Structure 1
Amino acid sequence: MSSTSGPGRMGPPGPEEGSLAQVRRGRAAAGRRVWVGAAVMVVGALLPVLASVLDGGGATALWLVSMPTCLAGASLAAVGVLRLRSLRSRLHEDWG
C-alpha cells in the first residue's frame, strides 16, 4: 500500500501532514496553557479571601503570595494566547 492510497495510509506522513500535526499539537498545548493560567489566576484571587478567614502569620503569607500568583497565571495565559496566534498565522502561511 502506498502512502497516498486513501484514508488508511500505512506510509510515513508527508511534509504537509507532519506540519499540520505539529500545528495541532501546538494548538492543544497552547490551549492547555491558557486554561492553566486562568486557573492559577483564580487561585491567586481566592488567596486573600482565604487569608481573611485565617489569623496570624498564615494570613500575611497568603496576602503576600496572592499578587505574584495572579501575575504568574496572567503570564501563562498570555503566553498561551500568543502561541495560539502565532500558530494561526503559521497555519495560514502553510495552507493558504
Structure 2
Amino acid sequence: MSHYFASASLAHSELSTVFYEKLLVLAWGYDSLIVRFVGLVVFAFATAFILLGMESLSAFLHALRLHWVEFMNKFYHGDGYKFKPFSFALLADDED
C-alpha cells in the first residue's frame, strides 16, 4: 500500500512542478500584465481543481475500498464448494 502512496505523491509532485514551470514561470517571463494575470489564473485553476480533485478522488476511492472490504466480510459465508482447476488429465480419467 505504501507503494501506491509513493507513486501518488510522485505524480502530484511532478504535476505541481509542470504547472509551476510551464504556467507561472513562463507567464512571469512576459512584460504584459494580461499574460501574467492569465498565467496566474490558469495556474490557480490547475492547482485547485486538478491536483485537489485528484487528491479528493484518491481519498474517496481509498475509503470506498476500505468500506467494501470491511463491510463484505460481515456477510461472506464460505459455504461453497472447493475449487478444482481445469485439467485435461482429470477429464481423460472421467471418460475412462
The alignment's TM-score, normalised by the length of structure 1, stands at 0.48
Q: Which entry has the higher C-alpha Rg, 1 or 2?
A: 2
Higher relative contact order (CA 8 A, sep 6+): 1
The alignment's TM-score, normalised by the length of structure 2, stands at 0.48
